[in-house]
Chain A
Amino acid sequence: MLEITNLSHTYGNGPTAHNALGGIDLKVAQGELVCIVGPSGCGKSTLLRSIAGLLRPSGGQVTLNGAQVEQTPDNLAVVFQDYSRSLFPWMSVVDNVSLPLRRKGMDKRQRGQAAMEALEEVGLDGAAAKYPWQLSGGMQQRVSIARALAYRPALLLMDEPFGSVDAQTREDLEDLTLRVRNLHNMTIVLITHDIDESVYVGDRVVVLSKAPAGIVGDLRVDLPGPRDQITTREHPDFVHLRAEVGRLVRGMRSPSPSAS
């Protein structure tokens, strides 16, 4: 459903040009949860912005359900890392969730109902009338997830969605993502720099190299389900996979022989 062919992007030009993406080919099937992992500053966010249509890449193309992405597609939602800058502080939680639904041609009552259903799914139906800044970081990120769920996107992009919350909340949000994904059979591309997270959450882990980013590994995660924070993480396959992903990420990070 998502097809990326030979995607490249360079910021600026001349001697200060920064080559962020160096020709990426990737296919994501319907209902798949793909984790993209790579060292920080490797161009993960550039990749995400290209898929979301927020950035026009210098080369290559992105197609979503057969249509080339030129502007922001109408069947795609994003959960950003920085929830405090993604939710609107002047709107209540339920208004934040229902705002994008105007585009779906729903009337006011339908929008409110859809927003409440989504908030219920993330366990926040009691906080609908509150404002985002009255909630903890983890709860605010749940609101972002609810907003994306209510939107019913064909593709959900998550940009380091759990990077700004504490470890316990992080595990809760990972499980929440898995649960809603199973419920709606959503296609999700999740970007992270956390190797354990990518293996725990993903059906597939795609490893990017340092900038200019290229794909250096594409591993299928075949862990017995349903996944569980304790037992899955001690499963031999999990341990093996995270070591392999770690090696791929690190392999690209270590200095080249000529530099040492």
Chain B
Amino acid sequence: MNGLLRGAVRLWPVPVVLLLWELLTRGIEMLSFPPPSQIATSMYTMWLTGPAERLWLTDAALTNIPVSVGRLLSGWVLAGVVGIVLGVALGRSPLLFRFIDPLVQFARAIPPPMLLAFFMALFSIGPRMQISFIAFGIVWPVLINASEGARQVDRQHLDTARVFGLSGGERLFRIILPSAMPKIFAGLRVSLSLALILMVLSELVGSTDGIGFQLLDAQRSYDFSGVWGTIVVLGVLGYVFNSAFLAAERRVLSWHRSAKQTT
């Protein structure tokens, strides 16, 4: 209870800023800067005026938001798997690193928006194009971190594993991957926030549903409070994903944080 109270006290700037924003936007009366109350109303009509048996969710809420989140998470998982597998391989094999690293550096230097046309040509418009576009754009932080983490495994940990005759698989899953895990998690976190950006981007050009599509739709029909409403939803999604990720990281890497604090 005490903690709840303290949390509430810490949030005091939120109502203050909202109030100022409300007064300011009402004062200047610009069409493209609607007051927050109007944004909230518009969000409500957009997503929460459906029938009661569907928890009041509208068709737009039930299609656009899950579709977008699905694309984001699929792209992120795909990037995570590819990034970890390729990154660990590059980190452990100097030969592979010499061959593949220039390619990696080349590919990651390309700004993802430039690649939209390429992915649209390759997969045509649809979820395949969106997911692969997201995955390609966000795989680099995971890949580079996994590669660094796998390369920097403590020499003596590896010596110990050799002396006690651990098999290749045991070394990979019990020594190398856990050692690299803190770095991999740092990469996954950066990728998750990038995934949100690329998800919107992919829906702005090649989509007929999703949050990004709804944003574009609202903009095209001069529904500015609708535009702001979608932006708010994107911000909330980003916040929720980051919090959930940090909670998962705390559980998985508890040994890492504690080991660092005590040594």
Counting chain B CB atoms within 10 Å of each CB, the highest count among A84, A131, A133, A134 belongs to A133
Considering only CB atoms, which chain A residue lies closest to B155 in the complex?
A85
Q: A72 at interface (Cβ–Cβ under 8 A)?
A: yes
**B-contacting 9-mer, from A75-83, A200-208, A214-222, A238-246:** A75-83
CB-CB under 8 A for A134 and B262, given A78-B160, A88-B157: yes
Considering only CB atoms, which chain B residue lies closest to A86 in the complex?
B160
Q: Does A85 contact B156, Cβ atoms closer than 8 Å?
A: yes
Cα separation A151 to B159 with both chains bound (whole Å): 16
Q: Which B residues lie within 8 Å of A100 (CB)?
A: 164-166
Q: Which A residues lie within 8 Å of B160 (CB)?
A: 78, 80, 86, 88
Per-position 1/0 for B231-263, Cβ under 8 A of A: 000000000000000000000000110110011
Q: Which B residues lie within 8 Å of A53 (CB)?
A: 162-163
Q: A102 at interface (Cβ–Cβ under 8 A)?
A: yes
Q: Which A residues lie within 8 Å of B159 (CB)?
A: 54, 78, 80
CB-CB under 8 A for A77 and B164, given A84-B263, A88-B175, A133-B262: yes
Q: Does B170 contact A89, Cβ atoms closer than 8 Å?
A: no
Considering only CB atoms, which chain B residue lies closest to A133 in the complex?
B259
Q: B174 at interface (Cβ–Cβ under 8 A)?
A: yes
Q: B178 at interface (Cβ–Cβ under 8 A)?
A: yes
Cα separation A90 to B178 with both chains bound (whole Å): 7
Shortest Cβ distance from B168 into chain A, in angstroms?
13
Cα separation A86 to B170 with both chains bound (whole Å): 16
> Contact check: which of A90, A103, A133 meets B165 at CB < 8 Å?
A103
Q: A26 at interface (Cβ–Cβ under 8 A)?
A: no
CB-CB under 8 A for A133 and B157, given A54-B162, A99-B174, A102-B170: no
Q: Does A90 contact B256, Cβ atoms closer than 8 Å?
A: yes
> Contact check: which of A72, A82, A85, A134 meets B163 at CB < 8 Å?
A72
Per-position 1/0 for B114-140, Cβ under 8 A of A: 000000000000000000000000000
Which of under 10, 10 to 19, 20 to 34, or 35 or more describes the interface residues of A? 20 to 34
Cα separation A80 to B170 with both chains bound (whole Å): 21
Cα separation A54 to B156 with both chains bound (whole Å): 11
Considering only CB atoms, which chain A residue lies closest to B174 in the complex?
A99
Q: Which B residues lie within 8 Å of A99 (CB)?
A: 164, 166, 170, 174
Q: Which A residues lie within 8 Å of B258 (CB)?
A: 131, 133-134
Cα separation A77 to B162 with both chains bound (whole Å): 10
Cα separation A85 to B159 with both chains bound (whole Å): 10
CB-CB under 8 A for A151 and B164, given A90-B255, A131-B258, A134-B262: yes
Q: Does A72 contact B259, Cβ atoms closer than 8 Å?
A: no
Q: A52 at interface (Cβ–Cβ under 8 A)?
A: yes
Shortest Cβ distance from A145 into chain B, in angstroms?
13
Q: B101 at interface (Cβ–Cβ under 8 A)?
A: no
Q: Which B residues lie within 8 Å of A228 (CB)?
A: none
Q: A74 at interface (Cβ–Cβ under 8 A)?
A: yes
Shortest Cβ distance from B105 into chain A, in angstroms?
31
Q: B59 at interface (Cβ–Cβ under 8 A)?
A: no
A residues 95-151 touching B (CB-CB < 8 Å): 99-100, 102-103, 131-134, 147, 151
Per-position 1/0 for A51-82, Cβ under 8 A of B: 01110000000000000000010101110101
Shortest Cβ distance from A103 into chain B, in angstroms?
5
- Known contacts A86-B157, A133-B262; 9 additional CB pairs below 8 A are A72-B162, A74-B165, A77-B163, A77-B164, A85-B157, A91-B174, A103-B166, A132-B259, A147-B164
Can you list 20 pairs linking A and B with CB atoms under 8 Å apart?
A: A72-B162, A72-B163, A78-B163, A82-B156, A86-B160, A88-B157, A88-B175, A89-B256, A90-B179, A90-B181, A90-B256, A99-B166, A100-B164, A102-B166, A103-B165, A133-B255, A133-B259, A134-B258, A147-B164, A151-B164
- Name A's B-contacting residues (CB within 8 A): 52-54, 72, 74, 76-78, 80, 82, 84-86, 88-91, 99-100, 102-103, 131-134, 147, 151
Q: Which 7 A-B pairs have the closest CB atoms?
A: A100-B164, A133-B259, A85-B156, A90-B178, A89-B259, A103-B165, A90-B255
